[in-house]
Amino acid sequence: YNWDLIEINGHDHNQISKAINKARTGKKPTVISCKTIIGYGSPNKSNTASVHGSPLGGAEIELVRKKLKWSSMPFEVPENILKEWRKLIISGKKHEENWKKNFDKLEKNKKEELLRIKSGNLPKNFNEKIAQIKDKFFENSKPIATRKSSEACLEAITTFIPELIGGSADLTGSNNTKSSSQKIIKANNFNGTYIHYGIREHGMCGVMNGLALDQSTIPYGGTFLIFSDYCKPSIRLAALMKQRVIYVLTHDSIGLGEDGPTHQPIEQLFSLRSIPNLNVFRPADSIETLEAWELALKSNSSPSVLALTRQDLPMVRKKESKENLTQYGGYILSDSEKENCNLIIIATGSEVEIALDVQK
């Protein structure tokens, strides 16, 4: 994969420093493999399982201090180390001054746009743009798969939200996650907004978490809903960290496709819905798909899942509405004509069409 690998003694700070400097000056991505011993310095517990989940204890800590020749008191930072840290403050101030000088050179509109992006806020005309897209969707009410509806949303949204960074785990053509305006980020050119992650769902979601930590980017990535199991640890962390990450999970259907039962999501939706602070949207048509994207982009302290279909779905929202009904989690799509209702049918996603047929 054209990476540099540096193996070092992870307990030797000189080797660590040299490896980091080499990685900084290299032209390839670098993996630094630090060989370490668990419980290093502990005469009685080093390299044992007991040091993993249990405290060393006062007596053993004293032995470690002697072994490592550490004479400073607990919570005391030695003067020579403190001096090195204070040098970083001076260096940091210089970098900040240079950044401010470059920022002051920018035109007013570019300054405002950069500050908006850095703050994590959406463009001022966001609601207006979403309303325009919704009007177009109502005009074209032909049956369409929600993954294709999502693609249509992205085709419009990526033109006025430059901080969107998209990608897919080697399923771009199936997830419909790339708009025509997006350029691919390549090894020698980072001037793009789309990443080909390869067949690495867990890695993709980890990268997206990292991107989201800096509020100036809104990452989204696609794979099949069935493969959300590979994404789960990173999705859960995104929810815990309150990060705005968007997961485009397509081929949501219990119907068997050409790939067979290995690609048939059954329990995945229930598992995702059980994660606290994770928005799970399962739109029934193109209108709900757009509303899901709107809510996901506005949820700056929660990650969101968009569970989308492979098969075409009819437009079930016949009545035009400027209001985002998806935000309520549930709403009445087709009310009973009788005064006394004996049965309430609840459905989401591709089953809404079936539920409406049952009502008839």
Q: Is residue 341 part of a domain?
A: no
- Based on the fold, state whether residues 246 and 184 are members of the same structural domain: yes
- Return the pLDDT at 288: 98
Instruction: Please name the amino acid found at residue 289.
Output: T
- Return the pLDDT at 94: 96
Mean pLDDT confidence for 232-237: 98
| Residues across the chain | 360
- Return the pLDDT at 256: 64
Q: Is residue 119 part of a domain?
A: no
pLDDT confidence of 254, banded at 50, 70, 90? confident
Q: Is residue 88 part of a domain?
A: no
Q: Is residue 103 part of a domain?
A: no
- Based on the fold, state whether residues 202 and 326 are members of the same structural domain: yes
For 133, the domain range is 126-330
Tens of pLDDT, residues 161-205: 999 999 999 999 999 999 999 999 998 889 999 999 999 999 999
Q: Is residue 71 part of a domain?
A: yes
Which CATH number belongs to the domain containing residue 249 in this structure?
A: 3.40.50.970
Do the Cβ atoms of 228 and 275 come closer than 8 Å?
no
- Based on the fold, state whether residues 193 and 324 are members of the same structural domain: yes
88 has pLDDT over 80: yes
Q: How high does pLDDT run on average in the chain?
A: 95
**To 10 degrees, what angle do helices 228-241 and 201-213 make?**
20
Percent of the chain with pLDDT over 70: 99
How many other β-carbons are positioned within 10 Å of the β-carbon of residue 344? Answer: 7
Tens of pLDDT, residues 322-350: 899 999 999 999 998 888 888 899 999 99
Q: Helix H segments across the chain?
A: 13-25, 50-53, 58-67, 79-104, 108-119, 126-139, 146-157, 172-175, 201-213, 228-241, 268-273, 286-298, 351-359
Select from 48, 77, 106 the last residue of a domain. 77
Total domains in the chain come to: 2
Q: Which residues contact 204 (CB under 8 A, 6 or more apart)?
A: 167, 168, 169, 195, 197, 221, 223, 231
Q: Is residue 345 part of a domain?
A: no
**Which positions are annotated as active-site residues?**
201
Q: Is residue 16 part of a domain?
A: yes
Closest alpha carbon to 285 in 253, 256, 311: 311
Mean pLDDT confidence for 83-99: 96
206 has pLDDT over 80: yes
- Based on the fold, state whether residues 72 and 169 are members of the same structural domain: no
- Based on the fold, state whether residues 156 and 305 are members of the same structural domain: yes
71 has pLDDT over 80: yes
pTM: 0.89
Q: Is residue 344 part of a domain?
A: no
